[in-house]
Amino acid sequence: MVHINILAEVWSERFEEGLNPAIEQFNASIGFDITLIQEDLDGSLAHTKMLASSGIISSEEAKQLEDGLEQIREEFALGSFKPVLADEDIHFAVERRLIKLLGPVGKKLHTGRSRNDQVGCDLRLWLRRRIDELDKNILLMQRSLFSHADNHLYTLIPGYTHLQRAQPLSLAHHLIAYIEMFQRDRDRFKEVRNRVNISPLGAAALAGTSVPIDRRFTASELGFTKIYANSLDAVSDRDFAVEFASTSSLLMVHLSRLSEEIILWTSEEFGFVSLTDRCATGSSLMPQKKNPDVPELIRGKTGRVFGNLQALLTMIKGLPLAYNKDFQEDKEAIFDTVHTVNACVEAMTILFEEGVKFREDRLNAAVHSDFSNATDVADYLVAKGVPFREAYQMVGSIVKTCLKERVLLKDLTIDQWLEVSPLIDEDIYERLAPKHVVASRLSEGGTGFKRVSEQLTSWRNQLLSP
């Protein structure tokens, strides 16, 4: 950033000397809060309109200020408005440019306002937009998961607890679990949005102002649903930033767990998924390798989002009311969080759109090669009147015998079954088939095909309707 010390233009007469250049650099936020330029202009436009409608400035003055602000927007788009380090932050940069453009009228813009309520306003406007974009991106990711779920109602996948084979599942059921999680994330972001969408504007530095401003005018002009009732709270509150980072952290937890499963599934040991060339990478040394870099990076980036949450909490915890310069540190944490979660959501969407191929042969072989149907033998006996705990013990001993003889439950002869219990019939073989095992789990929310098919219908309506 170009270094020109022109601060004396804005600081009050109280100051005789400019800043030490290193301190100027240390103090400035323009290097990153330039990101807020559109919102800073939007906020200033609303403030200008309010000043005119409240009779604080004339409508001619307001017209000049509005034209000037729009001109700055244009100059920025064309690349001719380039704030410098000495501008300190985006708020000063815009005001200074406006004064250059308009002369004395430009100096009226900041009437009844402080950078303290201004920065809170800009950040909320910016975050509100980003939350709306993020919601759309998560929806697209849910759709990409849904299309796999829709194709794989009858594809089975081993279900695990403790990462040990437990009971087989419909693959659609497994994928819908993630759609559910991402829906909770979207719901949470909506709630956070409600608390982002409150106007701090008009709190001024901390105490309100003697200028007869109309806070509700600027709030409604900017689409805020309400105003902060307490001016001190208005400029001191960064709860919304913490809530956003916390909700983002939970979203990253879900993305990271899904990533971890994809990574496991693509390993030779599982072999449930293969990655297309468009979404996998090679090794610089080992020619045979195909690496799942995308889910690994998503899993890895989770840490920086947690870090941002921690940074925000720690930054706020010891601050007295009201504005403290520490708050300047909120921006990079929020910007980085927004950037990271969007990048991860987008990468995951692409991965499911064109990267992940479920290997039905391997999934099918897997569900036919284990004891994950053992619970069903117990349930079979329960249906014939055996108390569950007793049935459970009986099946435990059958599994033990099978393990010793290196056979599966389906390999036992009917005579061997009859030795276990005379209540067992030929129909036990059908009951043991993984398809039947899955189909039978018809309790609400269970993996039974009928239940999952209902879930698919419900998600189809929810996700695919415009």
Q: Is residue 116 near ligand ARG by the rule CB under 6 A?
A: yes
Q: Is residue 246 near ligand ARG by the rule CB under 6 A?
A: no
Q: Is residue 238 near ligand ARG by the rule CB under 6 A?
A: no
Nearer to ligand ARG, 110 or 152 (CB): 110
Give the one residue of 240, 272, 327, 380 binding ligand ARG; rule: CB under 6 A.
327
Q: Two tokens at 281?
A: 């990478």
Nearer to ligand ARG, 119 or 176 (CB): 119
Query: What DSSP letter does each residue of 413-426 carry, written as one string?
Result: -HHHHHHH-TT--T
Q: Is residue 115 near ligand ARG by the rule CB under 6 A?
A: yes
Strand 273-275 with 198-199, pairing: unpaired
Q: Which residues contact 159 (CB under 8 A, 6 or more apart)?
A: 165, 166, 167, 168, 169, 174, 372, 447
Q: Is residue 27 near ligand ARG by the rule CB under 6 A?
A: no
Report the alpha-carbon distance of residue 374 to residue 368 in Å, rounded.
12
Q: What is the 3-state secondary structure (H, E, C) of 306-363?
A: HHHHHHHHHHHHCCCCCCCHHHHHHHHHHHHHHHHHHHHHHHHHHHHHHHEEECHHHH
Q: Which residues contact 327 (CB under 8 A, 6 or more apart)?
A: 119, 238, 315, 319
Residue of 162, 210, 443, 465 marked active site: 162
Judge contact between 17 and 5, C-beta under 8 A.
no
Q: How many CB atoms lie within 10 A of CB 201?
A: 30
What x/- string results for residues 152 through 191 when contact with ligand ARG is judged by CB under 6 A? ----------------------------------------
Q: Find the part of the chain contacting ligand ARG (CB under 6 A) among 6-14, 275-283, 325-333, 453-461.
A: 325-333
Give the one residue of 224, 244, 323, 380 binding ligand ARG; rule: CB under 6 A.
323
Q: Two tokens at 51?
A: 């000043």
Report the alpha-carbon distance of residue 140 to residue 155 in Å, rounded.
23
Q: Find the part of the chain contacting ligand ARG (CB under 6 A) among 52-60, 153-161, 320-328, 336-344.
A: 320-328
Q: Is residue 86 near ligand ARG by the rule CB under 6 A?
A: no
Q: Find the part of the chain contacting ligand ARG (CB under 6 A) among 284-292, 324-332, 357-365, 405-413.
A: 324-332
Residue of 283, 369, 397, 458 marked active site: 283
Nearer to ligand ARG, 95 or 221 (CB): 95
Only one residue has tokens 């927007």, namely: 73
Q: Find the part of the chain contacting ligand ARG (CB under 6 A) among 3-11, 60-68, 114-122, 246-254.
A: 114-122
Per rule CB under 6 A, count of chain residues that contact ligand ARG: 12
Report the alpha-carbon distance of residue 87 to residue 447 in Å, rounded.
60
Q: How many CB atoms lie within 10 A of CB 47?
A: 27
Instruction: Considering only residues 43 through 62, tell me which ones interact with ligand ARG, judged by CB under 6 A.
Output: none
Q: How far is the CB of 199 from ligand ARG (least distance, A)?
A: 17
Active site residue 162: yes
Q: Is residue 33 near ligand ARG by the rule CB under 6 A?
A: yes
Secondary structure letter of residue 238 according to DSSP? -
Secondary structure letter of residue 443 according to DSSP? S
Q: Find the part of the chain contacting ligand ARG (CB under 6 A) among 4-12, 276-284, 292-300, 327-335.
A: 327-335
Q: Is residue 352 near ligand ARG by the rule CB under 6 A?
A: no
Interface residues with ligand ARG (CB under 6 A)?
29, 33, 89, 91, 115-116, 119, 323, 325, 327-328, 331
